[in-house]
Amino acid sequence: MPVLTLLVARALNGAIGHANRLPWHLPEDLAHFRRTTMGKTIVMGRRTWESIGRILPGRQMVVVTQEITPLPAGVRRAASLAQAIADNANEDELFIVGGARVYASALPIAHRIVMTEVELTPPADVFFPKPDPTDWQELSRVPSTSVNGTRFSIITYERRQPPACADKT
Ligand SMILES: NC(=O)c1ccc[n+]([C@@H]2O[C@H](COP(=O)([O-])OP(=O)(O)OC[C@H]3O[C@@H](n4cnc5c(N)ncnc54)[C@H](OP(=O)(O)O)[C@@H]3O)[C@@H](O)[C@H]2O)c1
C-alpha cells in the first residue's frame, strides 16, 4: 500500500476551485506542485483532468472516471480511487491532486496532507475542509509571499492514527 499524500491549495474560506479552475494565480504554488510531483504518480478526478487539459511531463497521470472519457496515450484511467490505489500498489507514494470529489474520497484514507494555505477568500464552487486537529498533526509550516503580493504557507500534516481501509472508497 503506497503512502497517500493529498496535495491541495486551499484558501482561508476553504475555496479550492471556481468554474473548474483555480480561484487564484499563484506561480509559486504551481512551481511547488511541479517540484513535489516530479517523477511521481498523480491521481486526479475527471474534471481536474479537463481543467489541466494536458499531459504534465515527468508525472504518471491517473484519471479517476466512470465514463469512457477519451484520454491521451500514457494517461491511465481508474474507475474508482480504490482501483487507482490497487493499480499502483507497488509505488512508494501516490499524490492525490484533486479535485473536491477525489479529495473527499481520499481524505479518510490519506496519510499526509501537503496544503498550500492561500491567504485569500475568493468566490468558489468547490471547497476542501480545514484539517481537523483531532485527526491531523501539523508537522511543518513554511510561510511565504508571492511575487504578486499574495501571502501563503505550505503546511504538512500527518495523520495521528492509522487511516481507514482503502476498500471503502
Ligand atoms: N486548489 C487545488 O489544489 C485544486 C486541485 C485540483 C482541482 N482543483 C479544482 O477542483 C475543481 C474540480 O473538482 P471536482 O470535485 O468538481 O471534480 P474532480 O474531483 O476533479 O472530478 C470529478 C469526477 O471524477 C470522477 N471521480 C471523482 N471521484 C471519484 C470516485 N471516488 N469514484 C469514481 N469516480 C470519481 C468522476 O468522473 P466521471 O463523472 O467521469 O465518472 C467525477 O465526476 C476545479 O475547480 C479545479 O480547479 C483545485
Query: pTM value?
Result: 0.96
Q: What is the pLDDT of residues 96-112, one digit of tens each?
A: 999 999 999 999 999 99
How many angstroms does the Cα of residue 8 sit away from the middle of ligand 1? 12
How many angstroms does the Cα of residue 152 sit away from the middle of ligand 1? 23
pLDDT recorded at residue 167: 54
Instruction: Please report, in tens digits, the pLDDT of each residue of the chain (169 residues total).
Output: 899 999 999 999 999 999 999 999 999 999 999 999 999 999 999 999 999 999 999 999 999 999 987 899 999 999 999 999 999 999 999 999 999 999 999 999 999 999 999 999 999 999 999 999 999 999 999 999 999 999 999 999 999 988 876 554 5
The response to whether residue 6 sits with its C-beta less than 6 Å from ligand 1 reads no
Domain housing 157: 3-168
β-pairing verdict for 151-159 and 136-145: antiparallel
Atom of ligand 1 nearest to the CA of 100: 15
How many domains does the structure of the chain reveal?
Answer: 1
The response to whether residue 94 sits with its C-beta less than 6 Å from ligand 1 reads no
The response to whether residue 37 sits with its C-beta less than 6 Å from ligand 1 reads no
CATH number at residue 23: 3.40.430.10
pLDDT recorded at residue 164: 75
The response to whether residue 98 sits with its C-beta less than 6 Å from ligand 1 reads yes
The response to whether residue 15 sits with its C-beta less than 6 Å from ligand 1 reads no
For the chain, give the number of residues.
Answer: 169
Q: What is the pLDDT of residues 21-49, one digit of tens each?
A: 999 999 999 999 999 999 999 999 999 99
- Three-class secondary structure assignment of the chain: CCEEEEEEEEECCCEEEECCECCCCCHHHHHHHHHHHCCCEEEEEHHHHHHHCCCCCCCEEEEECCCCCCCCCCCEEECCHHHHHHHCCCCCEEEECCCHHHHHHHHHHCCEEEEEEECCCCCCCEECCCCCCCCEEEEEEEEEECCCCCEEEEEEEEECCCCCCHHHC
